[in-house]
Amino acid sequence: MTESPFDARLQHALALIEAKGVRRSTAAPPIYRLFWRLGWQVPPPLMAGFFSVALLMGSFFGVFWGLAMWLLMWGRAGMPVSMVAAIALLAGVSFGLVMAAILRAQARNKGIPAWKDFAP
């Protein structure tokens, strides 16, 4: 099976990021590895744009954290679904924005180029 141009570019990008001293778990977080395995052509979070990182990380965090909280606590307490959704949305937006800010700052400090500017 041949490697797609995206897969080849991704492997070069991850090698560059790791060569800059970034841990593998930061260069390719588990959620991004899942995206890549599913065939989603998303750049590594350190090379992606601020809002795409915020959207991807925030959405998944909000959904799964909200679901976990509902199953473990809020459902038994009888919390209204609208309140659960609002809190999960706020948590997802907050998490996404914080993670995007952290990753953009780390990329800038390490001199990691944006995906659109990266040519292996």
The three-point CA angle 117-22-63 to 5° equals 85
pLDDT at position 119 is 86
Mean residue pLDDT of the chain comes to 94
| Contacts for 75 with CB less than 8 Å, ≥ 6 apart | none
For residues 14 and 8, what is the distance between their CA atoms, to the nearest angstrom? 10
**Is the confidence at residue 47, as pLDDT, over 90?**
yes
**Is the confidence at residue 30, as pLDDT, over 80?**
yes
Q: Which of helix, strand or coil describes residue 22?
A: coil
| Contacts for 62 with CB less than 8 Å, ≥ 6 apart | 88, 89, 91, 92, 93, 95, 96
**Is the confidence at residue 83, as pLDDT, over 90?**
yes
For residues 54 and 6, what is the distance between their CA atoms, to the nearest angstrom? 22
